Amino acid sequence: MATPRRALVTGAASGIGAACARRLAADGVQVIAVDYDAAGLEALEGVQTVVADLADLERLPELPADVDILVNNVGVQQVAPIEQFPPERFSYIVRLMLESPFRLIRQSLPHMYGAGWGRVVNISSVHGLRASPFKAAYVAAKHGLEGLSKVVALEGAAHGVTSNCVNPAYVRTPLVTAQIADQAATHGLTESEVLEKVMLEPVAVKRLIEPDEVAELVAMLCGPASASMTGSSFVLDGGWTAH
């Protein structure tokens, strides 16, 4: 019997990360779910859990590096005009959402190269391809993640390693739920108006995306048909970028 693949999934205590952890585990992958939210991790079944602050770059080498699949999902949001955007918050978001993925990829590639197989899946966003006002740090980090992913694809191809981004629009997650309140305050709207006039205005499919939909796409990119899928951005945005 073949040895099961091992996967590291970040930001796995809720939302997209939790859905990815569950979906990969259903395929027989040995999943290591990482998050700073210990209570959220406890709700996951059938996976190994590690409580860690992924913004603490010096502690990242303590995480397992002998993984075949790396899903970089962890993310946070801050909504504010640039002239009011706290510089320390900008630095934190870029550290968590761009530098942390770089370091995790860097320490995981030697194992993948040695095995001749690996999958790096970066949970980007439609905001990795498009900008929105008041989200300077998030948009900057996601655009950077897109470029990083492409470089990994080019370097990893000769070693059987693929690297792709998954780009959803707004997903029904705690991050988005919290963002609705922030957007309401910023735009002077009610929360229902934020959903209708801000979040769903640019999409053709007028609903939030479910985390399990994103996880299905991630599973495909880690599956048997994915060998030639690399250096790409797989858009799951309800038609946002069709404009």
Task: Of 30, 29, 50, 27, give the one whose Cα is nearest residue 40.
Answer: 50
Point out the catalytic residue in the list 36, 92, 113, 138.
Answer: 138
Is residue 78 within 8 Å of residue 104, measured between CB atoms? Answer: no
Is residue 2 within 8 Å of residue 195, measured between CB atoms? Answer: no
Q: How many other CB atoms are there within 10 angstroms of residue 190's CB atom?
A: 12
- Whether 138 sits among the annotated catalytic residues: the reply is yes
- Known catalytic residues are 138
